Structure formats: C-alpha cells, structure tokens
Structure 1
Amino acid sequence: MSKEICVITFTVDRVPSLIRCINSVLLQDASVRHMVFSENQPQLLRDARLDFCRSTTEFFPLEGLPHQGPSSPRMAMLRQHALSFVREPYMCFLDDDNEMEAGHLNSLLAIIREQQVGAAYSWRSLLYADGKHFDGSSYPWHSDEQEAYKRWQWCIAAGVMMEGQSVMKDGPVAVPDPMQLATVDMNEWLFHTATLREIGLDFSFSEQDLRNRVGEDDKLFARIRSLQLPIAGSGIPSIRYYLGGVSNYRIN
C-alpha cells in the first residue's frame, strides 16, 4: 500500500537516539514511510534493539565512511541522494537524534493543502542530551563566545528566541537580518516532493560558510526565499531538537 509522506533519517551508530527518533515517527497519525540511511546499515540490520521496527522502517546502505570532513556539504549530498528514492508525494527529514511531537506531520500537511503552498514548517523546542529544556540564555551553535553572543542578541531582538524559553521560532523575520540568521531547520520542514526536487540542495560551501557554521538548511532556506516559493508556518514547536551532535561528522 502506497504511503503519503516519506520521512528520511541518516544515522551512523547512535542506536538509542535512533530508537527514540523511529518511535516518534511510528506515533504519527499520518500515512508514513520511514527510510533510514546509514554507512553502518549491515550492523543496524543485525542489532536486536531495532527488531521492533523491522516491518515498519526501511534501512538503506550508504557508501563511504562516516565522520569525514565538515558536515554540511556532506549532508547536502546525502539528502539529495536520498531524495531520489522517494516515491511519496510529500517528504521530510528527521535527524537520528531528534523527535517529532504527536501530530507534527498532519499539522504541516493540513497547512500545505489548505494554503496551497509548496512547503510548510514548524518551530522547535531545544533540549540538552539529557532531555532537559534549553534555557534560552545563549546561542548554542557557535563556539566563539563573542560571535555566539552577537547572534543570541539578534535572535532575542528578532523574536526568534526568548530568554528563559527553549522554543526557536524559526522562519522569515520582519526585521533586518545582517548576519542571515533567520532560517528553518531541516527537521522542521514538510515538502511537496516535486517542489524539493525542483529546488535541489546546494553543495557549494566556501571557507567562510564553513567558518560561520552555515548549514545546508540555511542555504536551502535562502534559495526558497530567493525563488519566492510560497511557504507557511504552523507556529507550533512540534520538533524536539536535541543539542550536541551531527550524525556524519565527529571531531575526535
């Protein structure tokens, strides 16, 4: 039986978080096909901890070695590769260390259909690895303290973040954005599959992009804005976003 939405996840060896991720997809009340891609696919197929989802989750192999080089260019290529496997009319990405809240997919699907847009997005709740909510007192994606503070100040002024709260109110902003910080995280999107295929992922990252932690989702959002693609947001933090790691890049 054909499904309506395809969810794509990339993973390497974080099985406990992957289980949490898969369970959140299984709890969606939408018609979903979940595809998990991994360089360690043979090991995942043998891991008894994943036996619970053998009939509901598909595991696909990836060539190459994990943890090689900067994350964003590699993830852009992996996402574009996985897109070629999608048969469903709608699709999204969910990282192996994140979760969907119940009703996440249906809420975005309803927006796409009712507002006739090419993609819809949610907000996200930031959590630490132990499950505690982020306190909103800093910008957690830049290691330089001064740069992180500037970015946090902009997020507070733009209403993207609120001090003492864990919610990131992602999406377009109505204020000046000189550092181009307004974005939609890849986990927050639901796309018409045909729309994302038409837009495509950007694989070109300059040294400045890498130094400033520009992600493939930032480049995708910029491309969507430049094309004036009709999009809409739910205004609901229905993604649980865990701080602290990227599947395909690890600094030893």
Structure 2
Amino acid sequence: MGEQSRSEESVTVVTLTRYRPVQVQRAMRSVRAQRAGVTVRHLVLIDDNREIQTTLDEVATDFPLCDIRYVPREPHETSGPGRASRLRNMGVRHASSTWVAFLDDDNEWDPDHLHSLLSCVREHRTRAAFSDVSLLHTDGTPYREPRWPWANSTAEAEATYRELAARGICEPGSNVIRHRPDALEVPVDTSAWLLDRQLLLEVPFDEHFSATDAQNLVSEDDKLFYRLNERGEPIIATGRATLNYYLGGYSNSAETVAPAERDAISWAPE
C-alpha cells in the first residue's frame, strides 16, 4: 500500500448516472455524509443526459466537494457494462486520491462505510477491501425473499438462494449478503469496494463484453472481482453491511425488473 500517512490519504468516489435524477442526489448526500477521517471527493459522471446535468447544476452548491461532469457518447456507444467500464476507468484516471470507491447512483452507504473500509486496509495493509451488502426494495424496505435477485428465472433464483444459504452467504430472514473473497460465484458489487487508485490503473475495468457475458448477466464488477482474484491480489472484507443496495438494476432477474428499467439498462455486446 506504500508508506503514505493517514493525513495524506484521500478518497475519490465515482458515481455514474444517466436516468435517475432523484436517486443520484440521494447517493450524493450519502457521500457528503461520510465520516471517513480523510478528505472525500465525489466525481459524478453524467452519461450523455443534459436533463440530469441541468438538475444537478441547480443543487451543485450544496455539494462543495462534488465535481459534476457531463460525458457525451460516441454514435456507436450503447448502454451496458462496456460503457460503464469506460466511464469508471475515466473516473480513476481523473482522480488524484490515494483510494477510489464507487457508488452507483441508485445505492447509498451508511455514514461510516468508508471509515470501516479504510480501517481494514490500514490494519491488513492491503490495496483492496469491500463491505457486506444490505438488499433493499426500491421503496427502502428490506429484501428478505428466499430468491437470489441476480438470475434469469424465478426457479434459478430460488435454487441459487438455497445453495448460497447453505454456505452462509445468505441467511433466511435476513437481507444481508455476506461476501467472501474466495466465493468467486458471488462477485462483489462495485459499490462495496475501496481500492487503491494505483491498483485500478494496473487492473482497469474490462471494457469488452460478449453475447455470452450478456446471457450470463456478467457485468463490469464481476470481471474486476475475477481479475483481482486471478492475480492473487490480497483482499479483505469488513464483515459489515454498510452498503445499502436498492434492487432494480440491469443485473437483476429479467422476470422481476420493470420494462422501463430494462429499456434503460439494456445493452449490446461488442
């Protein structure tokens, strides 16, 4: 991790947004509320949507440590993990901080999320750490259904949940996912990570996705998790569910995501 003192540490939080003007402001408030003990700057990258830019420009003065940037699309670019990866990599290159975290525009953190992650990486001298996850419905109520949300069908969701519950990753009656660095079939969500910026420059987000990736619901956070494990990067988990994950994104079961949401996040393989 290097010999940088705590007083020199800082965190850049990268958020991508395109269709969620209300939710992204919730995410911005969540970053502003962090009690991390270091400087936390927020970089919001607007994915080719001038309407959201207008909305965020109106509230920009409420977020003095937030840099809001508009990023237009090239004619060939489509929604999906390829575009998201390019924006995330852009955010990493733009940052000048020691650490980088990512908060999706429809999620939020507990106020001590970054502090708990920083404590872990300092104690274990690692360059990568992540939190556990609390699953929520879009209305904020806990998701306690015995179905794994990231599946192609209800039957698959129920079978996967039973398997993961037997391994202690899920717990019946709880809305918490307890990630483990060795559980490769349960990749860590991007919003749960704290990563050394230099590590992300060495191992950037994969920007290429295939039709097979689409069929298997493979996203950019999945590939990052796989690549970190393949290179043997030490990873530590806080064991605390400080990420509040609101269900409804493109990786959720196609049978449970609303049609409008599917249209917003549909993507074409490259």
TM-score of the aligned structures, taking structure 2 as reference length: 0.83
* Superposed CA RMSD: 2.4
Does the aligned pair in 2 maintain the 1:170–1:185 contact within 8 Å? Answer: no
Aligned to 1:80: 89
1:51 deviates by: 4.2
Cα distance in structure 1, aligned partners of 2:29 and 2:199: 27
Cα distance in structure 2, aligned partners of 1:244 and 1:41: 20
Q: Which amino acid aligns with 2:228?
A: I
Cα distance in structure 2, aligned partners of 1:144 and 1:53: 42
Aligned to 2:80: 71
Does the aligned pair in 2 maintain the 1:123–1:236 contact within 8 Å? Answer: yes
Cα distance in structure 1, aligned partners of 2:140 and 2:41: 27
Q: Check 1:249–1:75 CA distance in 2 against 1; reply closer, same or farther (3 A cut).
A: farther
Is 1:194 equivalent to 2:180 in the alignment? no
RCO higher in 1 or 2 (8 Å CA, sep ≥ 6)? 1
Aligned to 1:43: 51
Identity score, percent? 31
Paired positions, count = 245
Aligned partner (choices 127, 134, 142) of residue 133 of structure 1: 142
Q: Check 1:105–1:113 CA distance in 2 against 1; reply closer, same or farther (3 A cut).
A: same
Q: Check 1:53–1:169 CA distance in 2 against 1; reply closer, same or farther (3 A cut).
A: same
1:95-151, Cα deviation, whole Å (9 max, x unpaired): 001001011101111111111101111001000000100014101122322322232
Cα distance in structure 1, aligned partners of 2:15 and 2:265: 17
Aligned partner (choices 89, 96, 107) of residue 98 of structure 1: 107
Q: Which amino acid aligns with 1:46?
A: T
1:26 deviates by: 0.7
Cα distance in structure 1, aligned partners of 2:20 and 2:113: 23
Structure 1 gaps, min length 5:
none
Cα distance in structure 1, aligned partners of 2:42 and 2:60: 15
Q: Which amino acid aligns with 1:13?
A: Y
Cα distance in structure 1, aligned partners of 2:19 and 2:35: 28
Secondary structure class of the residue paired with 2:22: helix
Is 1:32 equivalent to 2:40 in the alignment? yes
Aligned to 1:250: 265
Does the aligned pair in 2 maintain the 1:14–1:96 contact within 8 Å? Answer: yes
Q: Check 1:28–1:142 CA distance in 2 against 1; reply closer, same or farther (3 A cut).
A: same
Cα distance in structure 2, aligned partners of 1:101 and 1:217: 21
Q: Check 1:3–1:20 CA distance in 2 against 1; reply closer, same or farther (3 A cut).
A: farther
TM-score of the aligned structures, taking structure 1 as reference length: 0.88
Does the aligned pair in 1 maintain the 2:181–2:235 contact within 8 Å? Answer: no
Is 1:16 equivalent to 2:40 in the alignment? no
Structure 2 gaps, min length 5:
1-7, 251-260
1:3-39, Cα deviation, whole Å (9 max, x unpaired): 7100000011311111111111111122200000013
